[in-house]
């Protein structure tokens, strides 16, 4: 298991940003999956800052996000398309055709899931997938209990997160919301994964992810089985797993 522990949050953000920049420099045709949330915000800002100061060719890089909200317009600031576009795709001048995101509104989401997965396969698969860690162990929007064999699909959202989205958007309860997400199998097919987690509030879940059994009850635990997954943590998130670091 590859475990990297940054000594503080700033060092963590910078290290995480360099994982993305490094991938783009090593292979300018990289297909890179991102994730949204508080963990990734500074990291994306640092990636943009490095690119602005030291520009390089991003014309062949493909970017996408591991998940997306469904049944909300992209104009909602919490949509992953909007966050990734603003935080990283536009600042890095990623061509529109290489910023591939499933739609937030569709007649047939199952068909959208299949075509999104095909689009990734057509580009040679995922070279690097950055993953955040949900407080309940979710990755992407795959909630506890998601089968390890799942492909890209629309998952129910975490209830706390869904309540927040409903508050922010004012959508009524009868209006279904969901999360279109790479499935666990799809994630596990990424050639390289970097799982990032920071903050003391994640420490308990980090311990379960790394020291607990591999179980569908903790989706992130499956990453113990990936042959090329790095767990990048700050000291607070790593407090129960320091013995695993070499
Ligand atoms: C959301 C996103 C996930 C992300 C997770 C962690 O559920 N859909 O992709 O990894 O939150 O978020 P945070 O970094 O804010 O803890």
The pair of three-digit structure tokens given for residue 189, joined into one six-digit string: 């097919």
Give me the residues paired with residue 194 across strands.
130, 230
Give the residue, 72 or 246, on which the prediction is more confident. Answer: 72
Q: Which atom of ligand 1 is nearest to the CA of 35?
A: 9
Indicate whether 16 belongs to any domain: yes
219 touches 144 (CB < 8 A): yes
Helix 9-26 vs helix 38-53: angle between axes, to the nearest 10 degrees? 60
Residue pLDDT, tens place only, 23-57: 999 999 999 999 999 999 999 999 999 999 999 99
Residue 37 CA, closest ligand 1 atom number? 15
Tokens for 11?
């060092």
Q: Identify the CA nearest to 139 among candidates 216, 238, 46, 237.
A: 216
- Residue 101, burial from CB neighbour count under 10 angstroms (0-12, 13-18, 19+): buried
Residue at 211 is within a domain = no
In whole angstroms, how large is the CA radius of gyration of the chain?
Answer: 17
- Identify whether 2 is part of a domain: no
What residue owns the CA closest to ligand 1's atom 1?
37
User: Which residue from 44, 139, 56 is spatially nearest to 93, judged by alpha carbons?
Assistant: 56
With the most atoms of ligand 1 within 8 angstroms of its CB, the residue from 12, 35, 232 to mutate is 35
Pocket flag, ligand 1, residue 227 (CB < 6 Å): no
* The total number of structural domains that make up the chain: 1
What is the per-residue pLDDT across 96-146, written as a single tens digit (0 to 9) for each? 999 999 999 999 999 999 999 999 999 999 999 999 999 999 999 999 999
In a domain, 232, yes or no: no
Q: Residue 129: what are its φ and ψ, rounded to 5°?
A: -120, 115
177: domain CATH number is 3.40.50.1360
Establish if 190 belongs to a structural domain.
yes
Residue 1 scores a pLDDT above 90? no
Q: Are the C-beta atoms of residues 168 and 78 closer than 8 Å to each other? A: yes
Structural domain including 118 reads 7-130+141-195
Residue pLDDT, tens place only, 159-180 = 888 998 999 888 888 888 999 9
Residue 246 has pLDDT above 80, yes or no: no
Does residue 204 lie within any of the structural domains?
no
CB 95 within 8 A of CB 51: no
Extended beta strands in the chain, E state? 2-6, 31-34, 62-65, 67-70, 128-131, 153-155, 178-181, 193-197, 229-234
- Residue 66 within a domain: yes
Question: Ligand 1 atom 9: the closest Cα is on which residue?
Answer: 140
Ligand 1 lined by 140 (C-beta under 6 Å): yes
User: In which element (H, E) is residue 22 found?
Assistant: helix 9-26
The answer to pTM > 0.75 is yes
Question: Has residue 226 been placed in a domain?
Answer: no
72 has pLDDT over 80? yes
224 vs 243: CA distance, rounded Å:
16
**What phi, psi does 205 have (nearest 5°)?**
-70, -35
For ligand 1, mutation pick of 12, 16, 34, 36 (most atoms within 8 Å of CB): 36
């Amino acid at each position: 298991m590859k475990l990297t522990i940054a000594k503080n949050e700033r060092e963590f953000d910078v290290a995480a940003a360099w994982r993305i920049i490094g991938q783009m420099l090593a292979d300018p045709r990289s297909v890179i999956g991102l994730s949204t949330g508080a963990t990734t915000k500074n990291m994306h800002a640092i990636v943009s800052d490095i690119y602005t100061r030291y520009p390089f060719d991003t014309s062949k890089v493909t970017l996408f996000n591991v998940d997306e909200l469904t049944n909300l317009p992209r104009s909602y600031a919490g949509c992953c398309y909007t966050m990734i576009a603003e935080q990283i795709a536009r600042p890095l001048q990623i061509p529109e055709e290489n910023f591939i995101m499933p739609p937030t509104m569709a007649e047939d989401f199952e068909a959208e899931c299949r075509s999104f997965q095909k689009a990734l396969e057509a580009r040679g698969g995922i070279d690097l997938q950055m993953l955040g860690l949900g407080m309940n162990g979710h990755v992407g929007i795959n909630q506890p209990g998601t089968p390890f064999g799942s492909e890209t699909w629309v998952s129910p959202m975490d209830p706390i997160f869904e309540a927040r989205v409903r508050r922010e958007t004012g959508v009524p309860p009868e209006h279904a919301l969901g999360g279109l997400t790479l499935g666990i199998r799809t994630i596990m097919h990424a050639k390289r994964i970097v799982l990032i987690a920071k903050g003391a509030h994640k420490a308990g879940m980090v311990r379960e992810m790394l020291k607990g059994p591999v179980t569908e009850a903790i989706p992130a635990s499956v990453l113990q089985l990936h042959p090329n997954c790095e767990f990048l943590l700050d000291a607070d998130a790593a407090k129960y797993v320091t013995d695993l670091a070499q």
